[in-house]
Chains A and B, each alone.
Chain A
């Protein structure tokens, strides 16, 4: 039987506010456990929440960016359950009246096709703390630094049909929230976490199959792997005559295995009700217009600008505009070097490859934008060849200094002096009469290929420092004669 996959996502996006959703404690990542949890975050008796206005601004911005209706009146509710990393015994969230109503996001697939993914709603809520089950010898450690961090939870319609589409959506959403500046996008720190709802059905069938939810995926790679694995599992279960149980599952990216966490029967009755400590939040037209005016450039607009103003091809423009930090880095390199296309090539090429290899984010890139621009300038003014540039790049990556320092210490200046190059070429012609004769006797269209031999010899003789353009020019002149 041919199966069709149906995927819906719930994405937790940590908002980049300085303080928490309902308290003044800092939201900075990486502090000593429990040093950023104040009396309110600890749910000390007698404390009351005060909503963070910046979180509303960010959520509103998100809503405007996905063309959603902003609910003029939104209500916080309590979601009740017991867990040690949830100090109040309830999470303050939104249910019946979320701040962001229905919207959509268009994704571009590998085939070049565009697909619209509908967003059911996005609501504001607070994050829980963290439970650490290792290192405590039969006990669990609780870190409440994260407790109360503002989130928007973005809930899509079940509009995606493959892991590729789900990952494309995830990347698009990542690009959008980072461009808006409402999330730092650091997935390894849990700034964006994906819950994936997956079901399968015979192709052509309208009714949805029973779904499972794989929770808390925090990388695009794990998300893709977890989806593929779950689709395979569901097909196997159904084809061997079994039934899919509605359950919550966990995927382990290290072992590449998933397991059931809890079945639907074990799920909590959350007993939602409007939080009596917080009044309904009413946003008026003027507020929404004010937020609209403050919106930064969105990835779509950026992409168009890269094509029209910087002359980048569509592919480059799409990639570079997709992530805000990458876009900012690229723009800086392009501005300082005045070479947008070269800047694009380096950012998408060597920089991306190295970051990928070392699993770093662009924020952690050891070569800053002005240093990379410095390298591009030396390449552009002919001081070094593209081959040398690779060597310089590697040295710069390893912290050996800026482009000029590396070129100096490694003696990498390319030979552009035509006198010196002519001498090298003359020697090669004198020492390889047979090849010269072959070249001169060959048809015009065969010649470019045969030229490679002479270029190779000249490079060898110059220890790789010959300026390739100039060398080419001299070779063509002398061989043609």
Chain B
């Protein structure tokens, strides 16, 4: 895994079903002694608990995830999914994650800052793209990186350098780290009351590839419900919960630290009782 934003990077997986995800995670999860940030926790068999009953499950619904900006169709699909869980014996509890609104700004300081350093190694000296006929060292650096990186990558490197630069560090990077801690503490509080948290994966159904390229902030806001999970370092997953205008909508499940097995169990029980994971969006066979 090549580092982009080290404190946020995580290996993810994309599968047809929760059961497949459990199988894959069984082979992926283990302690890595070459990663200093890896915890040496016992790894469960993620398939062993897939069929456990979810009766008595306490689901937290963050009020902040159902406010302004949420597509009505998406909201309906997610609410229907939650009703399904109730039918399976779960109880639903309204919770608050009061710092949700600062997750995107915090993320777009921390991730670019880390990426601005992580991508420095792509300098045209040892490997990767190297510009033609560099005139001197500075030219080699400037052209290799200007020509080799795409627009979004360059935008993030610039934002990251700015956030870390002399005189701005406290205003941006240090502040973003404080925001990150507040966001994490929101979840710590929430998990004192509930077992899992659910909500929409994104505010609107899937949008067309490249359609928000000219408006990066609009694109960044599509991550508004998932970014906090990433900042808090919690496991999260998205499962299909319906189509709106023939475009897929995702239900997000957020678990406490090391609650992957429970999340997979709950998702699997949902998929045993619904067909959404078998639906294909428009244009896909």
Those 5 A-B pairs whose CB atoms lie nearest each other, nearest first: A89-B120, A276-B7, A271-B164, A276-B6, A45-B2
| Contact in complex: B117, A273 (CB < 8 Å) | yes
| Contact in complex: A271, B116 (CB < 8 Å) | yes
| Contact in complex: B35, A82 (CB < 8 Å) | no
Does A80 belong to the interface (CB within 8 Å)?
yes
Our pick among B37, B126, B137, B164 for the contact of A273 (Cβ within 8 Å) is B164
Name the A residues within 8 Å of B5 (CB-CB): 276
Q: For window 236-264 of chain B, which residues contact chain A by CB distance below 8 Å?
A: none
A415 to B36, CA, bound (A): 73
Name the A residues within 8 Å of B3 (CB-CB): 45-46, 48, 277
Does B72 belong to the interface (CB within 8 Å)?
no
Distance between A481 CB and nearest chain B CB, rounded to angstroms:
88
Q: For window 76-127 of chain A, which residues contact chain B by CB distance below 8 Å?
A: 78, 80, 82, 84, 87-90
Distance between A10 CB and nearest chain B CB, rounded to angstroms:
20
A176 to B36, CA, bound (A): 32
Having A42-B126, A46-B3, one finds 17 other A-B pairs with CB under 8 Å, namely: A46-B1, A48-B3, A50-B34, A80-B120, A84-B137, A87-B125, A89-B117, A89-B123, A269-B165, A269-B166, A271-B117, A272-B164, A273-B117, A273-B164, A277-B37, A278-B36, A279-B37
Name the A residues within 8 Å of B123 (CB-CB): 82, 84, 89
Name the B residues within 8 Å of A48 (CB-CB): 3, 34-36
Interface residues of B (CB under 8 A from A): 1-3, 5-7, 33-37, 113-114, 116-117, 120-123, 125-127, 137, 141, 161, 164-166, 169, 173
Beta-carbon nearest neighbor of B121 in chain A:
A43
| Contact in complex: A271, B141 (CB < 8 Å) | no
19 A-B residue pairings within 8 Å (CB atoms): A43-B126, A45-B122, A48-B35, A49-B36, A78-B117, A88-B117, A89-B120, A89-B121, A142-B125, A269-B165, A271-B117, A271-B161, A271-B166, A271-B169, A273-B117, A276-B7, A277-B37, A279-B36, A279-B37
Name the A residues within 8 Å of B165 (CB-CB): 269, 271
Number of A-B contacts (CB under 8 A): 75
Does A459 belong to the interface (CB within 8 Å)?
no
Name the B residues within 8 Å of A66 (CB-CB): none
| Contact in complex: B169, A51 (CB < 8 Å) | no
Name the B residues within 8 Å of A49 (CB-CB): 36
Beta-carbon nearest neighbor of A83 in chain B:
B137
A105 to B125, CA, bound (A): 42
Q: Is the interface of A mostly helix, strand, loop or mixed?
A: loop
Name the B residues within 8 Å of A278 (CB-CB): 36-37
Name the A residues within 8 Å of B1 (CB-CB): 46
Beta-carbon nearest neighbor of B6 in chain A:
A276
1/0 per position for A32-47, CB-CB distance to B under 8 A? 0000000000111110
Name the A residues within 8 Å of B2 (CB-CB): 45-46
Name the B residues within 8 Å of A46 (CB-CB): 1-3
Distance between A271 CB and nearest chain B CB, rounded to angstroms:
4
A142 to B114, CA, bound (A): 26
Distance between A409 CB and nearest chain B CB, rounded to angstroms:
59
| Contact in complex: B116, A80 (CB < 8 Å) | yes
Name the A residues within 8 Å of B126 (CB-CB): 42-43, 87
Which residue of A87, A269, A276, A278 has the most chain B CB atoms within 10 A of its CB atom?
A276
Beta-carbon nearest neighbor of A270 in chain B:
B166
Which residue of B33, B121, B122 has the most chain A CB atoms within 10 A of its CB atom?
B121
| Contact in complex: B117, A80 (CB < 8 Å) | yes
Which residue of A50, A87, A271 has the most chain B CB atoms within 10 A of its CB atom?
A271
A44 to B122, CA, bound (A): 9
Distance between B110 CB and nearest chain A CB, rounded to angstroms:
9
Q: Contacts A273-B164, A273-B169, A277-B6 known; A50 to B36 CB distance under 8 Å?
A: yes
Beta-carbon nearest neighbor of A51 in chain B:
B36
A80 to B116, CA, bound (A): 9
| Contact in complex: B121, A88 (CB < 8 Å) | yes
| Contact in complex: B34, A87 (CB < 8 Å) | no
A48 to B121, CA, bound (A): 13
| Contact in complex: A82, B120 (CB < 8 Å) | yes
A139 to B165, CA, bound (A): 32
A453 to B257, CA, bound (A): 96
Distance between B122 CB and nearest chain A CB, rounded to angstroms:
8
Name the B residues within 8 Å of A44 (CB-CB): 127
| Contact in complex: B113, A273 (CB < 8 Å) | yes
Distance between B204 CB and nearest chain A CB, rounded to angstroms:
31
Q: For window 47-72 of chain A, which residues contact chain B by CB distance below 8 Å?
A: 48-51
A226 to B33, CA, bound (A): 47
Which residue of B34, B161, B173 has the most chain A CB atoms within 10 A of its CB atom?
B34
Name the B residues within 8 Å of A271 (CB-CB): 116-117, 161, 164-166, 169
A277 to B35, CA, bound (A): 8
Beta-carbon nearest neighbor of B142 in chain A:
A82
Q: For window 277-296 of chain A, which residues contact chain B by CB distance below 8 Å?
A: 277-279
Name the B residues within 8 Å of A90 (CB-CB): 117, 120
A18 to B16, CA, bound (A): 49
Name the A residues within 8 Å of B125 (CB-CB): 84, 87, 142
Name the B residues within 8 Å of A277 (CB-CB): 3, 6, 36-37
| Contact in complex: B35, A45 (CB < 8 Å) | no
A80 to B123, CA, bound (A): 13
A78 to B123, CA, bound (A): 17
Beta-carbon nearest neighbor of A278 in chain B:
B36
Name the A residues within 8 Å of B35 (CB-CB): 48
Distance between B259 CB and nearest chain A CB, rounded to angstroms:
22
A44 to B35, CA, bound (A): 15
| Contact in complex: A88, B36 (CB < 8 Å) | no
A42 to B137, CA, bound (A): 18
Name the B residues within 8 Å of A45 (CB-CB): 2-3, 121-122, 127
A36 to B242, CA, bound (A): 56
Beta-carbon nearest neighbor of B8 in chain A:
A276
Q: Contacts A48-B34, A273-B164 known; A82 to B6 CB distance under 8 Å?
A: no
